[in-house]
Chains A and B, each alone.
Chain A
């Protein structure tokens, strides 16, 4: 979707402001939100792409004015309600009132913690040979799906070169909408800064994205 989350190339957000000696969390609730998201994801309530989509679909003014973990919280609460793990009445009451929905991987207890300290695997067997090889010129499609996609707006319509082939991976555009993993070839595609940003672009810059095969046409 063409949401405010797709920020690459936007102007007006001001300077980057690093915080010296930044703590891991700025408040205890932030850490609880992080842990709940990791735990419920690991328990099988949702996949990582669906959780991203719920943050992206927050209203633009909410997305832009909420802190990072506030966005995580809002996305998590809404997603768990819509997926049937809790109800709005329970959220309003602050207590469980309905029977639990069973989780694909069961309750997230202490014994589960170590397994989420290693990232999940997203590579999958290929259903078809790769269409592109390293060095090929490709063009990012001019597509504007209203659902989840990982093709940022700033590269759409532009041509670049395939630099790496990462194999076949879970396709977020399908997984986010719970339409299955639909694995697709994944490439690093590099673009010249001036091709993306015009004559005023930095001539020494190159920008790459990781692009799934359905995002690309031969160029």
Chain B
């Protein structure tokens, strides 16, 4: 149905074919008693408000501040995060990988869009799109350049392709000049991309 070229006197909302099909599907699922629309609203609201990179940022800031937590986090990400009541709950199989002066980590899902939702929210479009998925494994430095990011020429770049139900979160290096900062201040420097490995945390201003 291509509505754009026709006049619909009874309908000025200019709904696209996709919108109409999605609405129709929801109507059918609701009429058949499979789903409750209010439950769909609640799912959407959770991803729009509660679940986002602020969760991962708190974990990173805690790891920067608390060596025992960092050790536990690198040993078993799910278990360590499970001890933090204030962060959204995380499922099993989270692996946290640490950036060091010798190694930079980057996460991709070449086959689809696997991403640590509980830590970072829903993935951005670029993460799910062909340019990133195709090139991250073959030309990681080229991909980093697309983000305006460069790592030293002799530094190892490790790309984690999320091909199973394990999920990966990058623990970036703590920025210089943040001695004595509180976890809350530190969390403010942690960017989403720094936890994917396509960026760095902000610098203290």
- In angstroms, Cα B41 to Cα A109, docked, is 11
Residues of B within 8 A of A96 (CB): 27-28, 31-32
Once the chains bind, are A170 and B165 in contact (CB under 8 Å)?
Answer: yes
6 extra A-B contacts, CB within 8 A, seeds A45-B34, A91-B28: A7-B133, A8-B137, A18-B147, A29-B18, A170-B165, A186-B164
Interface contact B122-A207, CB-CB below 8 Å = no
Q: Which A positions have Cβ atoms within 8 angstroms of B?
A: 5-11, 13-19, 22, 24-29, 31-36, 38-40, 43, 45, 48, 52, 55, 64, 68, 70, 73, 76-77, 80, 85-86, 90-91, 94-96, 100, 103, 107-110, 112-113, 116-123, 150-152, 154, 164, 166, 169-170, 172, 186, 188, 190, 196-197, 201-202, 204-212
- Cβ of B80 within 8 Å of any chain A Cβ, yes or no, is no
Q: Which of B3-11, B43-51, B65-73 contacts the other chain?
A: B43-51
Q: How many residues of B are counted as interface, with CB atoms below 8 angstroms from the partner's CB atoms?
A: 82
- Find out whether the CB atom of B156 lies under 8 angstroms from the CB atom of A31: no
Which residue of B has the minimal Cβ distance to A152? B110
Residues of B at the A interface (CB closer than 8 Å) are 18-19, 21-29, 31-36, 38-44, 46-48, 51-52, 88-93, 95, 108, 110-113, 117-118, 121-122, 124-126, 128-141, 143, 146-147, 153-167, 193, 198
Q: Is the CB of A24 within 8 A of B161?
A: no
B165 lies within 8 A of A10 (CB)? no
Cβ of A28: which chain B residues have Cβ within 8 Å of it? 19
Q: Are B147 and A86 in contact (CB under 8 A)?
A: no
B197 to A: closest C-beta gap in Å: 12
A117 to B111, CA, bound (A): 23
